[in-house]
Amino acid sequence: MERARDKVLMGVERRSVALTDLDRVNCAYHEAGHAVVAALLPLADPLHKVSIIPRGRAMGVTMQLPEADRHTYTKGYLEAQVAVLMGGRVAEELFMHHMTSGASNDIERATDIAQHMVCEWGMSALGMRAFRKAGSAFEDDRAHAMSEATARRVDEEIEKILAGGYETARALLDRNREPVKALAEALLDQESLEADELKDLLARTGASR
């Protein structure tokens, strides 16, 4: 079942594998990482499809999130979404034994969520205080006249949320290695799995929290 990955990892060492093959395997494990975390966290949005068919700049996509702002978000839901976003890179580390720049969009989105939680939604130890106008974008980091003391605490709270999401993803994927590998190999084989296929695969491989 792990033939594609092993072949590629050996090939990298011998410089005998094309980069595109390495990217393809990496993408499969990356998406599998997102998908397994999403499937196992009850508060995360349910999955409906996983794919490694390239779309524009993104190499693969785990279709999960509804459009922003249609509902109010609970803190538990947001924490789950951060963990899902971390899942791709965690899978790269655990299964491909490397890190790629392909996680940059996940990292930005996860940080954006954390910034909203701390700076606008009062979901940190800093409590109910707005550090920027509601509805700000990622780059509207925070009021620039904030004291250094406050800026440091805001940074610490953002860091806690991101580290927490990372740890959650890591624990889940470490405990569910077989499901991840099975899903990655299935993606390399089929390129795309629908929600029910994914559900069956995870049940079959004993995926659990």
Residues marked as catalytic: 31
Cα–Cα distance between 174 and 147 in angstroms, integer?
A: 40
Tell the smallest beta-carbon distance from residue 94 to its own copies (Å).
14
62: β partners? 50
61-63 vs 192-194, strand pairing mode: unpaired
Closest distance to its own copies from the beta carbon of 26 (Å)? 7
Task: Give min distance, CB of 77 to its own copies, in A.
Answer: 9
The conformation of residue 45, written as its DSSP 8-state character, comes to P
Residue 2 or 108: the one with the smaller Cβ distance to its own copies is 108
**Which amino acid appears at position 47 of this protein?**
L
Q: Nearer to its own copies by C-beta: 1 or 43?
A: 43
Q: Which two tokens stand for residue 195?
A: 């929600």
DSSP 3-state of 122 = coil
Binding site for its own copies (CB under 8 A): 13, 15, 19-20, 23, 26, 42, 46, 59, 71-76, 78, 86, 89, 98-108, 110-112, 114, 116, 120-123, 127-130, 132-135, 138-139, 141-152, 154-155, 158-159, 162-163, 166
- Return the number of the residue (75 or 199) whose C-beta is nearest its own copies: 75
Q: What angle do CA 204, 102, 106 make, to 5 degrees?
A: 75
**Looking at this protein, which amino acid is placed at residue 114?**
A
